[in-house]
Structure 1
């Protein structure tokens, strides 16, 4: 009844179905890996909200190169962890990061180097401020930095990518992304290999700044894709089996079409 499955045509159908199902299973496995990665990020974000901040050196290695160099990147497990550092802000090398959105409004994030006692620096994202009147790229009036020693508590954030060149205008740096390596090349000291997203500061941060929100990754979207791809794989195998069974029934005569009526046996139409 199912010998037709061994014909070249049906063997080709089977091979195509198995390949398609295997690809869908692999895509589901890839989404499963992404789900675990994003879940781990969310867990680090949540863990960073608890406990006492660690000293900066416990989470971020110190740079050892010359001025303008960048230290090692943080370990993945240390991203989003809270750390504390004390130093003095360098008011002559503040960076405006343009095109940043908070509460659906485009503005700027202000990044300032915090120079530590050993002469190295760590970049601190002080927060978000709206643009000046005139449009989303109108340079704002940036609140002054506190003088003297400053203690910050912030989240360890790895360098961003892309963003184009870093420009210097009116005594400030401007960039599209917080790319630590590019900003470091404009600075007269070695820079740590990540930046800090400010949580707290002593003395207190200027109230003109809005905190940059920390959003969790959408890991449930990946979970939905897992179900989708694995379901498609199962449906493709089921579809092959269903079509094969229908063909077997047809060949066995189970679904043979009804024979046409013998027109000679049809009753004559009434007058």
Structure 2
């Protein structure tokens, strides 16, 4: 009844179905990895908000190069952890990161190097400020930094991907990306390999700054893709089986659609017969 499945046409269809299903299972597994990775990031973000701050050196390895170099990036499990550091701001090397959004408005994030006692520096994202009147790229007036020693508390952020262009305008550096290695080349001291999103500061920060919003990764979207791809794989195999069964029933003359037509085509016996 199912001998036709050994024909070249059906064997080819089976091979194509199996390959397609295997690819869909692989895509589902890939999305599952992304779901698990994003879930871990979300858990670290939440844990960072709850944890007590630890010293800078527990999250970063100190830079060992000369001026203009960046240290090693923070370990993955240290990203979003809460740390504290004490140093002096260097306002002469303030960095404006344009094109940043907060409360549905486009403005700037302000990074200022915090120079530590050993001469190294940590880039501190002090927060978001609106642009000056004239458009989203109009350079804002940046509030002055506190003088003397400053203690900061914030969350570790890894360097952003992509090498944004760094240019100096009106005495301040401007960029679109917080690429720490590229920014370090513009600075006169070695810099830690990530930066800090400021939560608290002593003396207090200027109230014009808004805290940089930290969004959670949309991990449930990836989970939906997992279910989708695995369901497609099952449907492909089921579809092959359904078509094969239908073909077998038709070949055996018991197909429910064609059988009534075949009976109708038979001649009606005459009464004389």
TM-score category of the 2 structures, normalised to the smaller one: over 0.9
Note the C-alpha offset of 1:164.
Answer: 2.6
Residues 1:265 and 1:180: Cα distance change in structure 2 (over 3 Å): same
**Which residue in 1 is equivalent to 2:253?**
253
* Aligned residue runs from structure 1 range 6-155, under 5 A: 6-155=6-155
**What is aligned with 1:215?**
215
Aligned 8 A contact 1:163 1:175 in 2: no
Q: Secondary structure at the match of 2:112?
A: strand
Query: Which residue pairs with 2:200 in the alignment?
Result: 200
Question: Against the structure 1 CA distance between its residues 137 and 163, is the aligned structure 2 distance closer, same or farther, given a 3 Å change threshold?
Answer: farther
Compared with structure 1, are the counterparts of its residues 262 and 36 closer, same or farther at alpha carbon in structure 2 (3 Å cutoff)? closer
The question of whether the paired residues in 2 share the 8 Å contact of 1:62 and 1:71 is answered with yes
Give the 3-state SS of the residue equivalent to 2:109 in structure 1.
strand
C-alpha deviation, 1:214, in angstroms: 1.2
What is the CA–CA distance in structure 1 between the aligned matches of 2:18 and 2:64, rounded to whole Å? 54
| Paired positions, count | 266
Runs of 4+ off more than 4 Å: 260-266
> Per-residue displacement from partner, 1:40-81 (whole Å, max 9, x unpaired)?
101111111113100001110110110001101110000000
Gaps of 5+ in 1: 267-271
User: How far 1:162 sits from its partner (Å)?
Assistant: 1.7
Which secondary structure state, in structure 2, belongs to the residue aligned with residue 244 of structure 1?
helix
Question: Under a length normalisation based on structure 2, what TM-score does the superposition of the two structures give?
Answer: 0.95
SS of alignment partner, residue 49 of structure 1? helix
Any unmatched runs of 5+ in structure 2? none
Q: State the 1:264 CA deviation.
A: 9.6
